[in-house]
Every structure is written in structure tokens, then in C-alpha cells.
Chain A
């Protein structure tokens, strides 16, 4: 048997499809001619066996706990790089030189302000609007303000949209938070770094300037790096699919934000907090909660432990665990929920039931704790995920649009409905 092709036997025919090599990880086979040759289509629920694209951006191996952006291990990037540098790397393929980084940072800094009329959108939203709905709406609305950068095939326009999105999303996110608590919007300040600026726009009020703690800034920068890309996940695939119709970048990213809003995708770190609140509401007894988990009692769900992709350990959780403890001790907050979380963590790391099932605290567990300690309400957690994922979405959008022979994404179906029947006027039914 050859290992460079796959043979499909169907009816009397035998059809050969070429194997497509990867540099590392899953190989595939190209079934581009399958339907024409056999009359068959493939059915693959959730696309779990379907490579949507060849991609050179992110490699992950769930069994081995490997995550690399453009070949660089996530551990090295989280430890030694910065979020903006990682954004540059993901989008451009290489780490920037000193000059390239300085131009990139400066461009982003110059675009952090929102058009004053954008504030009217926030005025229109109800006060209890979910910040993810505000985030996706305002990003979509950016396409009405920046009609000079819609053409996906013009490199200058692509790059301008890229800078505008990276620069404005923290402002959009902070305004969404301000709207939800009825505080005045805080304008960006160009003398601050990306993360400091976001924290200040979020937490300062006219009556009280906000001094970000360097430990908090560093932890948030790391968290954004850890979330910056995860290859063809649901929101990224959404960005690519919408972008494949040649819709502009704002429209594509807005769709990705909506995909991330779903509880099966971006909601995991919020579920961790809801679990902790559940434990607190029932008296804060961690031992009894753990007993219920082990007895698999109805309605008791352990959130933030183990991972669907990372079977043995989550490389991102290893990195962020230390940062989580740094932030908690730097902020020195006494908080019953955080105490419950730390007890739960201690249990999980020492209890054989958890260890043998690989139910280790995952990235969402620590992320939820850190965001809570920083003072973010749970509704903002997914917004922070979106801030982190933005460069990944943009990078994947660029790769898709620049791929020679890139086509509109247009799956097939297997029709299972009524074959044919005649229309009957309403009076005769």
C-alpha cells in the first residue's frame, strides 16, 4: 500500500486521492474530485475530520501538550515576548525587528481613539446589554466609519483595517464595560502601553486616576498571548468563512466575536466562576462539592478542569498558574470565591481521583480567577478572550484571503427531506 494516496472503492469504481503533507501533525487527503468522480459527498459532524485549510500559523498537539505560534513554543512567547509582538508575529509570520516593532506599536497607538459618533451606539444599548453583543455590534459598525479600507485584495487597506482593529478593540471593550456600570467613557492615552491603556480605560473614573499594578499588567499581557490563536477553532473558522465571501475585515471579525460568545466556545472561564458561586451559595463547602463530583450527582459539574484537546496537560495552564498566584498575592484581596477556588485547586492537584483522570486546573480555571481578582465582572471574561484572540483571527483572515485560488466556503449537504409535492392553496389545506 502506498502512503501517498488514499483509494476509495464505491460501486464498481476505485478512486485515488493524493495525500497532502504537513510539516508536522495531521496529514490529509485531497478529495477535491470526489463528488465529480463518485457522486458522493462526505458527512463529518462538527468537521472533526475535515481540514478546512492548509495553514502555517499555529500548531497544536493536544496529546503532547504542545502549542506553537509560527513555530515558537507558547512557553517562550509567554515568558519573553509581549502581546503586541506576538500579534505582529501571528499576522506577519516573523518576529519584528526593533524598527518594525516600533512602527507597529506607534501605528496602533495612533488609532486607539474611536470616532465620537461611535458613542451614540453605546447610548442606544440598554444598560444591561451583554458586552459581547456591544463588542460585535460596534466592530461591525466600524465598517460604516472606515469605508476606505474594505477591499480585501488591497494590501494597504488590509493593513489599515488590521491596525484599526487592534488599536480600537480595547477601547470598544472598555466602553462596553463603562456602559454596563453607568460610568463615563475614558479616552485612551497614547503614553501608555496596550494593556495599561486598556486597564486604565476600564477602571479609572474622573474622580480617581487608576494606577495599574505591574504584576496585573504583566499577567494580563501573558493571558492575551495565551489566547492569541488556537488554529481552526469555531470563531476562527467563522472569521475565515465570512471572509471567504470577500466581506470586509470588520464584518468578518464581528462574526467571529459572535461565534466566541457561544457557551461552547468562549464561555468556559465564565462557567468556572458560576461553579464557584454555586459552591459559595451552598455554604462554601469544597469537600462536599468534591464528594458530589466523585459521586457524579445530578446538576454538579466540575468546570475548569481537564481539557477536550489537551489530554494530559494544558501548556497554557502551566504558564498562567504562577501568574495567577502572583496576581492574587499582589492584589492581596480577600475574596470568598477566590478562597474556594484555591481550595479546589489544592484538592485537584493532590487527589488521585483528579490526577488519574487528568482533571488538572486548565487555562480557563486560572483565567477566571485572575480576571475576578483584577475586578472584571464575569460578563467581561469572554470580551477579554476576544481581545486576546483578535490577532489570531486577523492572521487567519490574511492567510485565507492571500491563498492563491482561495474560494468561497460553501459546504454540501445530504438532503433528508420530502422529495417533491405539489403546492396546495391555503383555503384547501
Chain B
């Protein structure tokens, strides 16, 4: 009876604490709020129309183009950008490189939120969204389908990342016993998460293997899964550099002076990793190009577009990263990270939207509603991220 009373009072105390934490902190009238609030409100209205009147009412999707901007941007690009979490956890927990420890929590949080919002955006794109549960509950499992693998991996990876992040939540809620218990699970969750991540990053590429006649030959290859996996490494690292740079400016008061200085060293280390992985990726692309003997495809619009992507957004930022590491120039590293992120967006959109059915008479262009909903997903994720980092001990100062 005493135990029940204690649990009830603990629960009441937690609810009071949680309600207190829900109250907004800081200024309301910031440039980000002024831009994001109307977009989120408009996006909510569009989503209401989408779920009541169907996909066709707000998107330019059709039987001919069943996958559009929502899949191309939210899922295919968003998951690549979330790749930083499995790389940093591998480096810190498996390889024991302590230098990166201070960014583990924020990187895992970014990865977790990216999966919740971007992979969660899959629901928007399903004609019958209530069927999303089918691969999990065994209603027409479809073992041979790559989507079956991707669905399970997304779900399991989200759980693994939640376990990795849960010590922070327990610390915030002042549940010391729970924190000790979930901290003990971290290494297992990390190893499980890395395995899942490597498989579904490449699995996302494998989704396009069945679309050989629809994708331009310069972008289609049986090695798309490997290309997706390798590109997720430098996409994730560039995202950490980009996001970390903004976080260190916006949340300066939450980050210790020591961490501010060590972040420069962390950026240099990640730039080195990005340069090496981009170099490998570039040679993969060159090898595939030569192996497929695609010389005659290079001398038209699509060929030039391909060269812009591969040289302008892979080889050049690769050299920029290498040069910047050598000269310890973090400004060039940040610039290279932005170019790399644009390159990833370009590459993934080329495969899933731009060079997809490149020869079709009727082309697909995203509607303004699709773009607003995509912005809404991004802005909502940033809101949640901001709410968490201003309350929970995510940055190193509060460890």
C-alpha cells in the first residue's frame, strides 16, 4: 500500500514538473518564430485537407508519379542527414574516441528527431495511411519487399535511438535509478543501432533498384545501395558541422567555454572523415561510369547536370575539406559542409524526382502545398529540438 502511495505521489510530482516545463522559455518574437509559426499553421490546414480529401487534393502525385517531393525530400534526404548519429556513436562508444563525447547527446537527439519527423512523414505519402502498421503486425508481411526491411529498420532504429537518448530524459526527470538502468543499455543499443543504420541507409537506395527503366542511366546503378550508404557518412558528418555551428551560436549560453573551443577540433576531425568518404564515393561514381561505358550519355543536358552534381558537389567540397583540414580553416570547412548538403539534396532528388521518368511527356513538379508541408515538418522538428535542448541536459555543460 505504501509503495502504491509513493508511486502515485512520484507520478503526480512528475506531471507537475512536466506541466511546468511545457511553459515557453525565452523571447517569443524571434525571426525564426515569425517565419515558422505561419508555415506550421498553414501546413496543418493542408494536412487536414490531405487526410480528409485524399492525396490528389493537395499534391501533384498521380498513378504515373506515385512518389514525389515528400518521399524524395523528407524520407530519402532526411534519413541521409540523420546518418551522423550512427557515425558519432560508433566513434565514441565502439572506437572509444573521447574527443567527440561532448556532441554525442545532441547528435543522437538530432538523429532521433530526424527519424521521427522525416521517416514519420511516410504516413503523409501513403494513400491509405492506416496500412502503415501492416509490415509490423504481419498483415501481408511481404518478406521479399525492400520496403518491409526499411519499415522494420526505421521502427527498430527509432527505438534504439530512444534508448540511447533516454539517460538524458531520466536525468532531466531526476529519475536516478531509471537513468542508471537505461545507461547500462546504451552500448547494446548503439551496436544494434549501427547495424540497423548501415542496412537501412543502403536499403533506401535498394528501393530504387526496381525502378531501372524509370531512372536515367547516369543515376541508375546496381550499386545504388552502396552509394547511398557511403554518401550517408559524409552527409551525416556535414550535417553535424552545419547544425553544430548554428547550435553553438544560438545556444551559446547552454554550452560551456571548454566545449566551444573543443568544437573547433571536433569540426576538423569530422572534416577529415568527410574528405576521405567523399573521395571514396567519387571513385565509386567514376568506376560505375566507366564500367557501364556511359560515355555517349555525357554530352547532353543530363550529362552536364550529372557532372555538376559529381564534380561541383562531391569532388570540389572533398578538396575543400582536405585543404581546410590541412590549413585548420574552419570557415572553409563550414562552407564545404553546406555545399555537401546541397549536393546530397541534389543527388537524392535526382534519383527520386528529377531524373526519375526523365523522358516522360508529363513531368512531375511539386505543388506549393507539398513544399509548405515539407517546410512545416522541418520547422516542427526544429521547435521540438529547441524545446528539448533548452530543458534537458543535452549540451556538455550540463553533463
On whether the two chains bind one another, the answer is: no
